[in-house]
Each structure stands twice: as structure tokens, then as C-alpha cells.
Structure 1
């Protein structure tokens, strides 16, 4: 059984084309800006769902996917439930449906390795390149995320590098330059996406009686986003502000 938090049909922001986005329950990170705090707990208010049920939903929506679309597993953190996802991904592949995994790259075991092997594309969220600042932002180290990126590169697995731009937390010029220098020769990075910081999930914290710790952080200005795009553009050919 797979613990599913929610779905988004006809999604256009989480991978190529039009996609069915499956938001899964459970996450190993504790990102200060998390827009889905209700997905962090391993159980939460999720629904136990059979792989067959998700497969039927994906097959029914396949006519809308076109040549580029498919299914994206997001969260939460999909690799948190890697073992349960493997049979579903095998069935999706048999049905000819494109599989995308949106992951922070922070969990690694044999099941995660097999899951990434089955995926057609990985959206790898690199929260911060400086490990000290990464720990402040997520309460976790980025060491495994960087190892996961190296594995994707070595195993010829296409991935998109995603970076949430948060002023005062991940908007540091020297850290973006260090990230660019680290990844600039990776062949398997198909595109870089800069995700603007937003406060759309703040109401969830209030409903859950949780403290939102970034109340003083303002959304990015167009100038800040453009400066970040140009900075990333020094190292990568394909950079988008999502």
C-alpha cells in the first residue's frame, strides 16, 4: 500500500508536459519554508492506496499526457516510500507512462536505487550548496543529496536541478557560484529550475497550530530572480524561473 496525501491532475509545473502529480506522505527533511507541512509526518491524514488504483488513474489520464507528459511522484518525499512505489513504477512502465520522481535526494538504500533506475526523470531539489546553511534550512546535511546527484550522473539518469531561492537562506551569490562550479560539467542535468520562495502554505501552519519560522522573509523581487537566473546561466545552458 502507498500512503497518498493528494493528487493534482493536469499539472504543468512538476516535470515535462501535462502530468498527474501524486503527493506522497512522509518526509525526512524539515525545510523551514515547506509548503506542505501536512505531508511531513509518516502517516498524517493520508489514504492508504493500492498501486492498481493509482495505475488506473494514470491510464485514464494518459490521453492528456501527449508525448512529454506522465506521472510525477512528489510529496513529502517519494523515496520515503520507495519500496512501495517500485511495483507501481514497473506497472507504469509497462503501460508506457513517463515516470518522474521529485526528490530531495537525502535518502539512499537499495529500494531508492531501484526506484531511480525505473524513473525516466528525476527532479533533484538541491536546497543549498553550503552544508552549514543547508542544515539551518532543512535540519539535515546535503551530503547524501550530492552523492545522489553523482549517482544519477554516473548512471546516465537525466535529471533537473531545482533550487528554491530564499533571501537570507539560499540566495547567497557565493553559494550559487559554488553549486555551479560543482555541477557545471554534469552531462545529465537537462535543465535548472529556480523556484521562487512563496508563502502559499502559511495557512496550513496556522491550521495545524505550527509556528511558521520565516514570517519575516519576503518573496523574491523580479530583480532578485533575474540576478539569480543570470548567475546560474554562467554555469548552465538551460535555466528557468519556474
Structure 2
């Protein structure tokens, strides 16, 4: 199921990207800004060749712009066969490929799929297992850590993403735990600290759902700087 696609610059990997958002996710992160992607039934049926035909329309532009294709979600690894087919097709076009994932379903990513991935954008929700469960509702940290080390064994570059939420993920011990996980993975190239925002609140309202963090403010500059510094203290480039 394809939820939507977009063409953006410098958001989901290097250069201008064709970003395909797939429908379906097993996690229910409190700060999720796309509750409309939780269920596969919310997406539009799509085939690998159909999506590749759409990507092909942008092929020349993406190459000139030094970009590529990012498969995101939802959680793309809920549809591993579809993702593998699309990524292989992109590699045949000579396009850079990125996979945006929580890593929670990393065990579903077969070797053929990972062979077609140039970069993994790995969302580490928390470094503390209890906080991880609070953030995600159902998830566990261990599968993400295993997936990260599996990627490192393959030599796959990783950009770690960490959503900074005041009062939820900002505890210094939690940040240090995320940094320790990232620092233990030799192919992590950078850490992106993503400030929490409430831009998805309208989607919750449209779906008749309460937004769990409606009263949570975005982090201020001082907090963002502190967290980036914690990652840098672990030897990690942080932006």
C-alpha cells in the first residue's frame, strides 16, 4: 500500500529526493505526526512497477540534482517484498536509495532488500527500554539495536534520527543511552536531532483521535544544543 509520495530537497537523504510514504506501522509513537499512515487500509493499492514508473518520470532530474529515492512510512518494512522490488528497480536506474525505518521490523529486511539500500535513516526512539515502550506504545528497543549492528556488519551507512520531546525523551540519561547505542555502530555517519512539533495535530482532529502531546511545547534552543552536545561528547557528528 502506498500512502503518498513527494519530491523534496535535503530532508530524507542527500540531494533532492523522491520520497514514497508507505501505509502501515506497528508502533504508535506519542509524537507521531502522521497517524493517517498507521493502517495499511488507509493507503492506495500500488504495484512495484507502477511506483517505479512514477519515479522514472523524475529520474533525470534526481540524477542532475545529486539526489535519489527514499522509502519511508508508516513503516516500510511492513511491506518488505514491495520495498525490495522498488529499491532494486531504483538501483537499476542508477539512483541513490535510502530506507527510513524505526528498525523495529529489521528482521523482515532480507539480504536482497538490503543489497539495494545505499543509506538507512534509523529512527532510535529512546535509549532506555522503558522509555522506548512509553514512546511507542508497543515497541522494544532490542530489535532496532540488532538491526543497526546487522547494517554495520554489511558496511551500510546509517544516519540516526532522534526526536527530542521535552518531558519524554529529553532526560540526559536517556539521551546518553541513545548516544551509546549509536556510538557502538561503526557505520553511523551522523545523528539528526529532530525537535518535536505539533504540526500533525490537525490530522488527529480530522481522524477523531486525541493528540497525546497536545500540551507539550517544542524544545527550546538551549535544550536542542544540550542534546546535540551530548551526542558530540560520544564522538558523533550531530545536527
Same fold (TM over 0.5): yes
Specify the alignment match of 1:183 in structure 2.
182
Report if the CA contact (8 A) 2:159-2:189 is conserved.
Answer: yes
Query: Which of these residues, 62, 76, 94, is aligned with residue 96 of structure 1?
Result: 94
CA distance in 1, matches of 2:110, 2:170: 30
SS of the aligned residue for 1:47 comes to: coil
Specify the alignment match of 1:153 in structure 2.
152
CA distance in 2, matches of 1:104, 1:112: 16
Unmatched 5+ stretches in structure 1: none
User: Per-residue displacement from partner, 1:164-213 (whole Å, max 9, x unpaired)?
Assistant: 00111111111111222333243211111011100010000000001111
Out of 211-220 and 177-186, give the one that drifted further. 177-186
Query: Which of these residues, 28, 37, 51, is aligned with residue 26 of structure 2?
Result: 28
Change (3 A) 1:115 1:215: same
Unmatched 5+ stretches in structure 2: none
Task: Give me the TM-score of the superposition, normalised by structure 1.
Answer: 0.93
Q: CA deviation at 1:58?
A: 1.7
CA distance in 2, matches of 1:224, 1:113: 39
SS of the aligned residue for 2:208 comes to: coil
CA distance in 1, matches of 2:198, 2:209: 14
CA distance in 2, matches of 1:87, 1:73: 12
CA distance in 2, matches of 1:104, 1:207: 25
CA distance in 2, matches of 1:36, 1:185: 30
Aligned-residue CA RMSD in angstroms? Answer: 1.5
Change (3 A) 1:85 1:193: same
